[in-house]
Amino acid sequence: MSAVSTLEAAAGYKASRTLPIWAEVRRQASRRRTQLALGFMVVLPIIVWAAFEFGNSNPGDDEGDGGGSFSSIADLATSSGLNFALFCLAVSAGFLLVVVVALFFGDTVASEASWGSLRYLLAVPVPRARLLGVKLTVAAGYSLLALLLLVGTGLLIGTVRYGWGPLGSTIAAEISPAEGLLRLLGIVAYLAVTLLVVAGLAFLLSVLTDAALGAVGGAVMLWILSSILNQIEALGDLRKILPTHYTEAWRAMLSTPIQADELAKGAISAVVYATLFWGFAFYRFTRKDVTS
Amino acid sequence: MSALTAGLRRAIPRLNRRRAVPVAATLVVLAAAAVWAARPTTDPWTTEDLRLSGDSVELDARFYLPRDRAGKVPAVLLAHGFGGTKESVRSDAESLAERGYAVLAYTARGFGRSTGQIHLDSPDHEVKDAQRLLDWLATRPEISTDATGDPKVAAVGGSYGGALALMLAGQDQRVDAIVPSITWNDLGQALVPQAAGTSATGVFKKSWAGYFFGNGGAAPLGGAAAALTGGTDAGRGGAMPATDPACGRFAEDVCKAYLQMATGGVPDESTLALLRRSSPASVLDKIKAPTLLIQGAVDTLFPLSEADANAKGIAAAGTPVKVAWFTGGHDGGAGPTSDSDRVKFLTVQWLDHYLKGEGEAPGDDFTFSRVAGFSALDRGLVTNGYSTDAYPGLSGTGSTEITLQGAAQQVANPPNGNPGAISSMPGLTGRLSSVLSGGIALDVPGQHAVFESAPLTTAAEVSGSPTLRLRVASPTGEAVVFVKLYDVDPNGTATLSAGLVAPVRLTGLPAVLDQAQPVTVTLPAVVRQIEAGHTVRVTVATSDQAFLTPAAPAVYTVAVEPALTLPILTGKPIADPSGLWWWALAGVVGVIVLGLLALLLVRRVLHRRRDVTVTEEYADTPLVVNGLRKAYGDGFVAVQEISFTVQRGQVVGLLGPNGAGKTTTLRVLMGLTQPTAGEIFVFGHRLVPGAPILSRVGSLVEGPGFLPHLTGYQNLKAYWHATGRPWADARFDEALEIAGLGDSIHRKTRKYSHGMRQRLAIAQAMLGLPELLVLDEPTDGLDPPQIAEMRRVLQRYATDGRAVLVSSHLLAEVEQTCTHAVVVNKGRIVASGLVDDIVGESPSVQLDVSDVPAATRILEELGVRSVTAEGANGLIVDMNGTPRAEVVASLVGAGIGVDRLVPRRRLEDAFLTLVGDNSRGSGDR
């Protein structure tokens, strides 16, 4: 040990090397909730498959709902692997994926704070902006992984059981398998973009609170609130600024040609909201007193 | 659940002075937005409700004038659809008034509050009414004129109002421009259409005719009448005299014509004459006003062929004509927004040029739209607009021939048309999607013949009227059939485009097919892309619920010749505004990326400019705290002013009661909290949150913090990984030895006891053997042997130039572990220095003796500094260097029993004196 050292930092310390991405990936990977969330993404298509196999599957016998495009996606779910994957996405887009994304983003900082390990990371010192940046990147990676696991498993199970066929949709002609796969990936990409809103919200709450459950639950609750407001037609054009207004626009990918208009608007809305939420999260976290 | 609510409670900030400002600012912004949204607005127009005289009737009218007008303005005569009133054109009137036109909207005779009877746009009645209105407009001072009594005026209207505009322009040359939409050319052909190339009378369109007759018939009080354009106040004309229940407000001749036509299905001469008089077809050659014809492709009442006939007739007279199609009409409503926007734009462009003289002459180009799919959000239709250089008519710019297959088939005509096939649902406007997707089309088995093509190899952009040749044999010599063209997708879903059918009445037919002569059938014009892989199916049906078919049952034989001609029209796509959104998205992302880059740049510059100077005088001092002060946002001051130094080789104890500010000081020291004032130097480097110099400091602040799902070993590893420093520098084995957890190191930390966690945390703080170790209450939770061990560890640690700062509220701990002590109370330092200095060299002793007065006397003789009695048997003795053994020997020698002798240090005295009796801090922070 050198008796006199005037180095600015300990030997080997470099701010940009603290909390490497892989370290954070491993920190999260070892958590039960990460494993459960990702596992469920694999299990869900299996459950859906089992429901179609063993349930009283009579798709045409739908309670006469008729025009709803959801029922049409359900009716077609067993027509090909692509449709099965699409169905898996459709049933989880509204809530499950929101919860999973909120979990990955809302839990990440708040749980460190509640364990007390956050202050030791900051004392390493991991620069605060870097800490958030790494946490954000890893949470985004896990969320994307969850989405891809869901659609990948759905595609695999669907293709094995129902075969590789064109992507059917009742609002347009069938889409050839190759094009259909692209469309499916497009839907995944769009869903990923719209989920940025909940990602931003959960992350912001995660920075503001020490309670991981509060951040996750709060983000999901606000999401639901926005969805409810979006159902109220009387709000008119005000609904267009709701963060969840364009979440259903992925269905536009099923028509031929793709109705890109709302996709673009939805992407703008999501990107702007996510930037605001994340921006505020960074602003707040890099200035706040960590008292947990 | 309670964790959730607790978390939420924490997530929702409590209001304090610091937060009040942003909260108040947000509220102000919201309130301003609400006020702005709810502000009273002044319409840019004024209105005046009038009763104007028509041709011996009184007309209910409303006159709109632009509020800001410079001089005189041109006028628009706005006519409503059948069953409507001046109210049903209100939004159109307002948007035109906003564009700087005076608008005269009025209720036609026989509707609403206007008096008179319905004469079906008769040149002798309704058209004359409109002429009186032109006279009135000419007298208004606000209206610009071409000549005295000749106002600058355009006639605009849809359906019933559109025909009026055409006929007014044909009858009165004062009209300067007209924009008729979704209207008829020949009412006879529209109501009794015939699609075959024969002179036989057509087939009565009973459902549409009945719908309108009912609409006008129920007029005086029937509030349920719905207008074409949405008006519902047709029944407010309460002042009307009692009317004939059979005819309502219809004029007698119109009523009679309808009754005659609806009874037998074949109009007689007088009926035909009446319909002809009410048709623009008769006056087209006299129209000199430039005409913009707008027709809907989803219209089973007035299909595209009506506008086509109007356009040809008007163009033949040399008058400028422009045609536009949109996806909508009597069945489809106003169509998607993109279509109604285009129609609005064309109308304004037309009026601006021909009325105001503004803008270039609208070209000859023709625009139309085609369904592209469904909107994902509102389930509405989305259309793409296309344009061509000139209006191509109904035969397209090219054609493609499709081969139909299918032998001659026998089809039954059901008696009285029941059951009947379904093609369209007149009166259900706005059901565009169901009409277009063919959801309601239905053929009755046994009543239709099917002829189908092979799947198309390439997509066909059909725009116009397909044609085919049909042969029919009938035992009665007469037959009524309906020819329909379905687009069948590979799944077998058949779509009847827009619900359009071609009604055919053939007479003089042979009984056997061999002798039947083929007739050409022109199907209604459709705009549709038939995709590759789809088939085209032609159905010949004997019944249709929208039409009146022969009552007698019969069996026809029908055959279709293989050749089906589809008119093809390829338009240039009109620039799609959705492209703009993608650009907007790119712009937004670009701005965000640029902002991010700018932010990074600023940070980098700030990072370069940050204070990296080493304060030389402190360069070899592990820790210098200078005038530290911390006031929290809510005004609570946790640390008033604290200054102290930790030198190499020292173990410094930060001693103070709970709430004295110890932890806050350490928090600032770890960069977790920003100090309000003062500065901290670690080895001469200024310490700010996240300063790299912190990497030379190991810490345990406010208890351990571990990932509960990892083992102790994994936790230490994870921590060291987070530092990003080389593995070899961690000195892992030494740290593990200090932790002394044995095999428990491989258990999950969530199963650890408090003491185990504490030891692991100390080990974590010592990872990498940092030169300065900061420990907050390190012995908390340790048992006595462990405490003793910890003391040894800390004392050993502070060698080799390292230093340790320990905070504690336990006197004994500081006294036994530390070389130096800093005593703090209520955020201030009350004493500091060597522990021995503070304690003093002459510790006092507490004695319990059997005889206090005797003992006091003996002790005073021994020359101690002071003797104070405490309790019944106790004495506090300041020894003043006298060895304890001597004291005991003297007392025992004097026959005084000594029960107990306890050394009493002055630190406790000092501490109690310093902090006073009130050891409670000023807050638990």
Rounded mean pLDDT of B383-409? 89
Q: Which residues of chain A have pLDDT under 70?
A: 1-6, 55-73, 169-173, 256-257, 292
Considering the domain boundaries, does residue A108 fall inside one? yes
Q: Which residue of B has its CA nearest to A123?
A: B670
Contacts of B690 in chain A (CB under 8 A): 15, 122, 125-128
**Which residues in chain B (427-446) have CB-CB distances under 8 A to chain A?**
433-434
B587 has pLDDT over 80: yes
What was the pLDDT predicted at A235?
76
Tell me the per-residue pLDDT of B261-304, one tens digit each, with 9 for 90 and over: 888 888 888 898 999 999 999 899 999 999 999 999 888 899 99
CB burial of B88-109 (b: ≥16 within 10 Å; e: otherwise) equals bbbebbbebbebbbbbbbbbbb
Q: Name the residue with higher pLDDT: A270 or B423.
A: A270
Q: Which residue of B has its CA nearest to A79?
A: B491
Contacts of B672 in chain A (CB under 8 A): 119, 122-123, 289-291
Q: Is the CA virtual torsion B723, B729, B735, B741 positive or negative?
A: positive
Q: Which two tokens stand for residue B160?
A: 């019933």
B530 touches chain A (CB under 8 A): no
Q: Which residue of A has its CA nearest to B613?
A: A8
Alpha-carbon distance of B913 to B7, in angstroms, equals 43
Contact A208 B612 (CB under 8 A): no
Considering the domain boundaries, does residue A142 fall inside one? yes
Q: How many residues does chain A have?
A: 292
B612 has pLDDT over 90: no
Alpha-carbon distance of B104 to B125, in angstroms, equals 18
Identify the domain containing residue A120 by its residue range: 19-53+66-285
Considering the domain boundaries, does residue A37 fall inside one? yes
B708 touches chain A (CB under 8 A): yes
Q: How confident is the model at residue B843 (pLDDT cuts 50, 70, 90)?
A: low
Q: Which two tokens stand for residue A185?
A: 């990936």
Cβ pair B652, B803 in contact under 8 A: yes
Contact A268 B800 (CB under 8 A): no
Closest CA to B817 of B869, B775, B878, B849: B775
Alpha-carbon distance of B411 to B100, in angstroms, equals 59
What was the pLDDT predicted at B925?
37
Alpha-carbon distance of A70 to A254, in angstroms, equals 12
Rounded to the nearest integer, the mean pLDDT of chain A is 86
B51 has pLDDT over 50: yes
Helix (H), strand (E) at residue B772:
strand B772-776
Residue type, A145: L
Contacts of A123 in chain B (CB under 8 A): 670-672, 694, 697, 699, 701
Contacts of A249 in chain B (CB under 8 A): 376-377
- How many domains in chain A? 1
Considering the domain boundaries, does residue A92 fall inside one? yes
Using alpha carbons, list the distances in angstroms from residue A38 to A82, A195, B579, B630, B631.
21, 16, 37, 44, 45
Q: Name the residue with higher pLDDT: B530 or A68.
A: B530
What was the pLDDT predicted at B620?
86
B576 has pLDDT over 70: no
Cβ pair B925, B827 in contact under 8 A: no
Q: Residue B189 — left, alpha, or beta (φ > 0 → left; ψ -120 to 50 → alpha)?
A: alpha
What was the pLDDT predicted at A170?
59
Contact A259 B710 (CB under 8 A): no
Contact A123 B4 (CB under 8 A): no
Q: Name the residue with higher pLDDT: B155 or A10.
A: B155
Contact A119 B701 (CB under 8 A): yes
**Which residues in chain B (783-842) have CB-CB distances under 8 A to chain A?**
800-802
Rounded to the nearest integer, the mean pLDDT of chain B is 84
Tell me the per-residue pLDDT of B817-836, one tens digit each, with 9 for 90 and over: 888 989 888 888 888 888 87
Least confident window among B318-322, B389-393, B458-462, B574-578: B574-578
B112 has pLDDT over 60: yes
The 3-class SS string of chain A reads CCCCCCCCCCCCCCHHHCCCHHHHHHHHHCCHHHHHHHHHHHHHHHHHHHHHHHCCCCHHHCCCCCCCHHHHHHHCCCCCHHHHHHHHHHHHHCCHHHHHHHHHHHHHHHHHHHHCHHHHHHHCCCCHHHHHHHHHHHHHHHHHHHHHHHHHHHHHHHHHHHCCCCEEECCEEEECHHHHHHHHHHHHHHHHHHHHHHHHHHHHHHHHCCCHHHHHHHHHHHHHHHHHHHHCHHHHHHHHHCCCCCHHHHHHHHCCCCCHHHHHHHHHHHHHHHHHHHHHHHHHHCCCCCCC
Q: How confident is the model at residue B9 (pLDDT cuts 50, 70, 90)?
A: low
Contacts of B374 in chain A (CB under 8 A): 69, 171-172, 255, 259
Distance between A150 CA and the closest CA of chain B, angstroms: 23
Cβ pair B767, B731 in contact under 8 A: yes
What was the pLDDT predicted at B235?
40
SS3 B324: strand
Tell me the per-residue pLDDT of B177-235, one tens digit each, with 9 for 90 and over: 999 999 999 998 899 999 988 888 889 998 888 888 877 655 443 333 333 333 334 34
Contacts of A32 in chain B (CB under 8 A): 709
Best residue in A13, A246, A271, A276 for a mutation probing chain B (most B CBs within 10 Å): A13
Cβ pair B859, B876 in contact under 8 A: no
